Amino acid sequence: MKYKKQDKFIINGGNKLFGEISIQSSKNASLPLLSACLLTTEKVTLQNLPDILDIHNMLSIMRKLGVKIKKEGNNHQIDSLNASCKQIDCKLSKTMRSSLFFLGSMLSRFKSAMLTMPGGCKIGERPIDMHISSFKKLNVKIDYFNDYIYFDAQHAKPNKIKLKIPSVGATENILQFACLLKGKTTIINPAKEPEVVDLANFLNSMGAKILGAGTNKITIYGVNSLHGVAYTPIGDRIVAGTIMVAVAMCGGKVIIKNGVPEQNAKLIEILSKLGCKIKIKYDIIELSKDDALLPIGKIETAYYPGFPTDLQSVMLALSTITAGKTRIIENIFENRFLTVKELKKMGANINCVSSNEIEVVGVTHLHPATVVAEDLRGGASLVLAALATKGQTVVKNAHFIDRGYDHFEDVLTQLNLNIRRQ
């Protein structure tokens, strides 16, 4: 699918959700798996990759590095045999922060790398200082010139690294770099997200020796080489969560397959307390909502296994039409309330308490408007608000939503909702 910046969603809200869907593979798991393919000269097949803009851009970067990619449906055969150490394409790296994931694999494979500061959604500074300090701990030489950062890993050595916060990106970069670094590398206070565990499982399936992923300490024993493998990324817990919140907002009954319920435990707990009926069997979530929801009270984001920052925006949309007051505290990113002004165009009652806290007073209903997505998750929240609003709403900048949701309009149409791309 070709994604266009001028695309928008035309949404006629007021319908309930009914049906059954299977959740796409995780965006946040698939991206580091792609970069890790550089670590082997053998062919790797990644199965069921989501058809989203971030994946398209990641594959474009890989092709420019000399990687051959053969696509059959949603399966991609990755051949990095003839990959070379080149600068990551400036234009592409500025469109997505995930280009930073190539740093660990490129340094491991080629012993040097150069990149510009990565881009992505406008949700905060998201500095790369922990990536820098971690590589320095591993004896990687780092130099700066204008907007470029140069890395030299010719004399890299294993070490113990203690992260000041459990950064997902820094943890994943260390995993990729250290798995082929002779000796023992230890990460203290690593990120515990399921996507980090999935990367470790992927690398181990290729012959790496990584222990403790998902705990407070990860130990990596460097091996000589990695081999090819066929692998399927985990399901996308954020997409599953988005659909669950859509049911809570609009009503109806949906069966979600590949919904990774254990990874959405915090959201399921909250929605159950609000009055949603939820049944879980293996990786299947059945969720229904008929009556008015109880007040939310408070949502506070935290590192996994806390409430995910990537679901904060859709919970903000839910809180706008839920009885009572809701406090939302954002502890991960400092600029994740960009959607507030757009929801206010639809009649939401939202007040800013501080730079990382807002108070929402639920209203009986929102009204249609033309709104603008400014980031991925905020864009999804605007779509959900529109679906719960009678009348026609236009959500501009659909390309932000396309970064993480695989044919979002088709999925929602399949669930009895009225949404089209224009």
In contact, 67 and 79? CB cutoff 8 Å: yes
Catalytic residue from among 37, 121, 179, 276: 121
Q: Is the dihedral of CA 203, 207, 213, 217 positive or negative?
A: negative
pLDDT score at 1: 61
| Contact predicate 337/358, CB 8 Å | yes
Q: Tell me, what DSSP letter sits at residue 24?
A: P
Strands of the sheet containing 297-300, edge to edge, are 297-300, 325-329, 357-361, 349-354
Strands 75-79, 44-46: pairing is: antiparallel
C-alpha angle 77/78/82, rounded to 5°? 140
The predicted model scores a pTM of 0.94
Total residues found in the chain within this entry: 422
CATH class, domain 8-24+235-421, is alpha beta
Q: Is 121 a known active-site residue?
A: yes
Q: State in Å, rounded, how far the first CA of the chain is from the last one.
A: 14
CA atoms of 394 and 383, how far apart (whole Å): 9
| CATH 3.65.10.10 residue spans of the chain | 8-24+235-421, 27-231
Look up the CATH number of domain 27-231.
Answer: 3.65.10.10
Give, for all 422 residues of the chain, the pLDDT tens digit: 666 778 999 999 999 999 999 999 999 999 999 999 999 999 999 999 999 999 998 999 899 899 999 999 889 999 999 998 766 666 666 655 557 888 999 999 999 988 776 544 444 444 688 999 999 999 999 998 887 889 999 999 999 999 999 999 999 999 999 999 999 999 999 999 999 999 999 999 999 999 999 999 999 999 999 999 999 999 999 999 999 999 999 999 999 999 989 999 999 999 999 999 999 999 999 999 999 999 999 999 999 999 999 999 999 999 999 999 999 999 998 777 999 999 999 999 999 999 899 999 999 999 999 999 999 999 999 999 999 999 999 999 999 999 999 999 999 999 999 999 99
